A and B are shown apart, each in its own frame.
Chain A
């Protein structure tokens, strides 16, 4: 079964600290992996996208890694800011044409990050 598991479920850190969020997946055939940031009550916004051959991608203070062999990804946030408080969602795409009722995207449940002053 195609699944995306994220950990931790929630995380509280102090402003200025670094943190790492984890995403493990069992999705096949794999096309790409995206990290989205979702502020409370808003729609998700794409942070990074990585294909099979990419193992690191940065977007400002956000750095995503991908290990396609172990089927793991991480999102590292450097020097956290209060505005980083949000849910971070890992999304894995299936390769190929639209696949049935689940669609081509498999969503994780997200990690809720709270940055405290």
Chain B
């Protein structure tokens, strides 16, 4: 059963805490992406990775960090430096950066 998965579905963060969102894909895709979605706004790119051990900042990378140690995995860490982290986070993958992106089910991050 191929696809892209994200966990957890909901995540709560305390002030000053770092939290990590998981994204895994078994589609053998080279490229992976993290987006943030806020109400009434389009998806905004946080980070993307075109290949293992390489990633690039998107438009809103401040306060976030990523790693790409394996082709299948692209975890996103929301650090304490991100002052407004409450949002819906979407991970996506594609064969290449010009190919159709397939999205995971999303993680909703809430601040306590």
Seen from chain A, the residues whose Cβ lies within 8 Å of a Cβ on chain B are 4, 31, 34, 36, 41-46, 49, 89, 93, 95, 97-98, 101-105, 107-110
- The distance in angstroms between the C-alpha atoms of A104 and B94, with both chains bound, is 12
In the complex, what's the smallest C-beta–C-beta distance from B60 to chain A, in angstroms? 9
Q: How far is the CB of A106 from chain B (nearest CB, A)?
A: 8
Cα–Cα distance between A4 and B42 once the two chains are bound (Å)? 9
A101:B103 contact, CB within 8 angstroms: no
CB distance from A32 to the nearest CB of B (A): 8
B57, A45: Cβ atoms closer than 8 Å: no
User: Interface residues, chain B, CB within 8 Å of chain A?
Assistant: 4, 6, 33, 40-45, 48, 50, 56-59, 61, 88, 90, 92, 97-98, 100-106, 108
Q: Is the CB of A101 within 8 A of B105?
A: no
Beta-carbon contact of A89 and B42 below 8 Å? yes
B98 touches A104 (CB 8 A): yes
Choose from B42, B104, B108 the contact partner of A110 (Cβ within 8 Å).
B42
Task: Give complex CA distance A95, B58 in Å.
Answer: 18
Q: In the complex, A90 Cα to B43 Cα: how many Å?
A: 11
A49 contacts B42, CB within 8 Å?
no
A103 with B97, Cβ < 8 A, contacts A41-B108, A43-B103, A98-B50 known: yes
Extra A-B contacts (17), CB below 8 Å, given A42-B106, A102-B58, A109-B42: A4-B42, A31-B98, A34-B100, A36-B103, A43-B4, A43-B105, A46-B101, A49-B100, A89-B43, A93-B98, A95-B98, A97-B97, A98-B50, A98-B56, A101-B45, A104-B97, A109-B40
Q: Please state if B42 and A108 are interface contacts (CB–CB under 8 Å).
A: yes
Least distance between B36 CB and chain A CB atoms (Å): 11
- Report the Cα distance A43→B44, complex, angstroms: 14
Q: Which residues of B contact A103 (CB under 8 A)?
A: 33, 45, 48, 58, 97
